[in-house]
Structure 1
Amino acid sequence: MSWFGITPLKKFPAPVVRPMAPFFIAGLVMAWGINAAQNSMMQSDEWKNDPRNVYAKNKAH
């Protein structure tokens, strides 16, 4: 099936994953770092009792 002359299932021999691997790894490292920073900030004294904190111990529930 052709869509404007382009076949969507054509295989190209260009490498994609290997050249992009450092960017994938950097993305995972950044996601882990942001998650760790956010978790440590949520447990800080400033946000410990905030009602928006999911780790806050609310006695209303």
Structure 2
Amino acid sequence: MGLLGKKFPAPVARPMAPFYVAGLVILYGVNSFANTLASTDEYKNDPRNPGAKSVPNGGH
């Protein structure tokens, strides 16, 4: 007997496929919405914005 016990031939990926797809769709939507909000005039030059065009301070 292995460390995890007996293996059962239960399908996992096929019944869960709609949930995986839905999760990817939600992640894509949240990412595109966050990118849209980060490119607005209010947050375009915010130093916390990872896409802001900032000049490095000559350090590392």
TM-score normalized by the length of structure 2: 0.78
Matches of 1:9 and 1:41 in 2, distance apart? 49
Identity %: 55
- CA RMSD between the two structures: 1.7
User: Which of 12, 17, 26 pairs up with 2:13?
Assistant: 17
Cα distance per residue 1:21-60 (max 9 Å; x no partner): 000000011111111111111111110011101111223x
Deviation at 1:10, TM superposition (A): 2.8
Structure 1 equivalent of residue 44 of structure 2: 48
Q: Which runs of 5+ in 1 are unaligned?
A: none
The ranges of structure 1 where at least 4 consecutive aligned residues each deviate by more than 2 angstroms after the TM superposition are none
